[in-house]
Amino acid sequence: MKTILITGGTGFIGSNLCKKLISDENNKIICVDNNYTGSLDNVRELLNNPRFKFIEHDIIEPLNIEEKIDEIYNLACPASPCAYQGEKAIFTTKTCVLGSLNMLELAKKNNAKILQSSTSEVYGEPLMIPQLESYRGNVNPIGIRACYDEGKRCAESLFFDYHRLYDVKIKVIRIFNTYGPMMDPNDGRVVSNFICQALRGEDLTIYGDGSQTRSFCYVDDLIEVIIRMMASEDDFVGPVNTGNPEEFTIRELADLVKEKINKDLKIVYKPLPADDPTQRRPDITLAKTKLNWEPRIKISDGLDKTIEYFNRRIKGEM
Catalytic residues: 148
Nearest to ligand UDP of 65, 129 (CB atom): 129
Cα separation, 18 vs 55, in Å, equals: 13
Calculate Rg over the CA atoms of the chain: 19
Q: How far is the CB of 202 from ligand UDP (least distance, A)?
A: 11
> Is residue 132 packed enough to be buried (19+ CB in 10 Å), middle (13-18) or exposed (0-12)?
middle
Q: How far is the CB of 23 from ligand UDP (least distance, A)?
A: 29
Helix extents (H) in 200-241: 219-231
Residue with the CB atom nearest ligand UDP in the bound state: 189
Pairing of the two strands 71-74 and 52-56? unpaired
Q: How far is the CB of 145 from ligand UDP (least distance, A)?
A: 8
> Is residue 25 packed enough to be buried (19+ CB in 10 Å), middle (13-18) or exposed (0-12)?
exposed
Nearest to ligand UDP of 32, 253 (CB atom): 253
> Is residue 162 packed enough to be buried (19+ CB in 10 Å), middle (13-18) or exposed (0-12)?
buried
Q: How far is the CB of 283 from ligand UDP (least distance, A)?
A: 17
Helix extents (H) in the chain: 12-22, 81-84, 89-110, 146-166, 190-199, 219-231, 250-261, 285-291, 299-314
Nearest to ligand UDP of 37, 110 (CB atom): 37
What count of other Cβ atoms lies within 10 Å of the Cβ of residue 219? 23
CA angle at 240 for the pair 238 and 242, rounded to the nearest 5°: 150
Nearest to ligand UDP of 111, 186 (CB atom): 186
Residues at the interface with ligand UDP (CB under 6 A): 80-81, 177, 189-190, 193, 205-207, 212, 214, 250, 272-273, 276
Q: How far is the CB of 151 from ligand UDP (least distance, A)?
A: 14
Nearest to ligand UDP of 91, 207 (CB atom): 207
